[in-house]
Every structure is written in C-alpha cells, then in structure tokens.
Structure 1
Amino acid sequence: MVRLIGIDLPTNKKIAYALTAIHGIGITSAKNIVKLANIDSETRTSDLTTEQIISLRNLVENNELKLEGDLRRFTGLNIKRLNEINCHRGKRHRTSLPVRGQRTRTNARTRRGSKKTVTGKKK
C-alpha cells in the first residue's frame, strides 16, 4: 500500500489516476508528476518499487501546489471571507443555494437537499 501525504492510494489503479485521490491533484498535474518521477504511465500502484515511491513522495511534498489540509483550509477561509463581507456569493453560501447563477426553480437538488413535500398545496 502506497501512502502519500497521509492518503492511501488505490492499489489497482494506474499511478496517474491513483494520484488524483489526493485533494488538489488533478489528472494533468498527476501525469506531470509521474513524468518527472520517470515512472511508466502504465504502472499500477501495487507494482511500484520503493525507489519510485520515494521519488513520488519527494515530488509531491516539494511541489508548489496546495494539497489536502492546506487547500481545504484555504477554500474554507475564502468562503468565510465572502460570508463576513456579506456579498451576494456569501449570502448564497449561507443559505446553501447555488452560488454561480444556476436556476433553482427545478434543479439544484444537490445544494438544496432532498425534496420536502408541502401538504395542502393543491387548489
């Protein structure tokens, strides 16, 4: 089992796709990290040697990207700042409605939660 930055990587996936399990690493940056570590892109996570794991760990830890806890803290502080200055986006975050202008009359079930049926609505 490979563990980077406190995250256990999935064992049966290719290494580039397994790296996306780390919050803050997408597929593009994962492919770049694999290329910099001189690892074949077809290699599965379970087939990595210890030298490859060490080189991956060094690249991920010394990268300028914000990852895991730092990234979560950064986005949380941004949302908190929007709430404090009482802007439109902050109000939408507070009321747990879509922030970026999507319609809410029919969709937005992910943000609004499951349907709550109101009785006596029929005329």
Structure 2
Amino acid sequence: MARIAGVNIPAQKRVEIALRYIYGIGPQNAKVICKAVGIPAERRVNQLTDDEIFRIREVIDQDYKVEGDLRREVSINIKRLMDLGCYRGLRHRKSLPVRGQRTHTNARTRKGPAKPIAGKKKATKK
C-alpha cells in the first residue's frame, strides 16, 4: 500500500482513482498528476515502482495544497466569514445551508434530525 501525502491509497485500484482518496485531489487533478508523471491511465497502484511513487509525491507537494493544509485553510475561511458577520457567516453559525437552498422542507443533513414542536399537531387523514 503506497502512502502519499499522509494517506494510505488502496493498492488494487487504478492510480487515477486511488489518488482521489487524498483530500483536495479530485478526478481532474488526478488525471493531470498522472499525465505530469507519465503514468498510463490503466496502471494499478501495486504496479507502480518506487520512483514513480516518489515523483507523484513530489508533484503533489509542489503544485497542490492537500489534506491538513487545505482543511486548515477552509476552516480559517469559514471562521473569517463568521467573524465578519456577513450573510454566509451567519448561515454557518446557525448551521443552515449557505448556498441558497430551501430550508422549509429539506436541509435535514445540515440542520440535523427534526425536533418536535410542542403543541403542533400532525395532519390526520379523514
């Protein structure tokens, strides 16, 4: 199992897919990294040589912000919005959807499980 950017990437998967296990590398960046290192798309991680793994590590370290650094930057950006008191910051503070989604019926992922309201009756069928 290869270890890149502090993450164990699965050995049986194609390199392009396995790189996506690293936070901050998606499908497009994975293709660009494979092309920069010169690895064919159908190559599996367990078929890589130590030199190829080292080159992948170098490319990621030089050109991409991944894992801890990226998570830290995102959390600092969210904290900045909350400190400014802008609309997006207020939505983050209240744990509501930030990007304009409706909240009347949905947004349960963001708001958590529904809380019963005292005195409100459920609609019954007649």
Give the 5 Å matches for 1:4-15: 4-15=4-15
Structure 1 match to 2:67 = 68
> Which secondary structure does the structure 2 equivalent of 1:71 belong to?
helix
Q: Which 5+ residue runs of structure 1 have no aligned equivalent?
A: none
Deviation at 1:119, TM superposition (A): 4.9
Residue 106 of structure 1 aligns with an amino acid whose one-letter code is T
Count residues with an aligned counterpart: 122
Deviation at 1:46, TM superposition (A): 1.7
TM-score, normalising length from structure 1? 0.92
TM-score, normalising length from structure 2? 0.90
d(CA) in 1 for partners of 2:26 and 2:32? 10
Deviation at 1:116, TM superposition (A): 2.3
d(CA) in 2 for partners of 1:54 and 1:16? 16
Structure 2 match to 1:81 = 80
Deviation at 1:42, TM superposition (A): 0.4
Which entry has the higher C-alpha Rg, 1 or 2?
2
d(CA) in 2 for partners of 1:87 and 1:71? 23
Structure 2 match to 1:28 = 28
Residue 54 of structure 1 aligns with an amino acid whose one-letter code is F
Deviation at 1:20, TM superposition (A): 0.8
Aligned-residue CA RMSD (Å): 1.4
d(CA) in 2 for partners of 1:113 and 1:48? 43
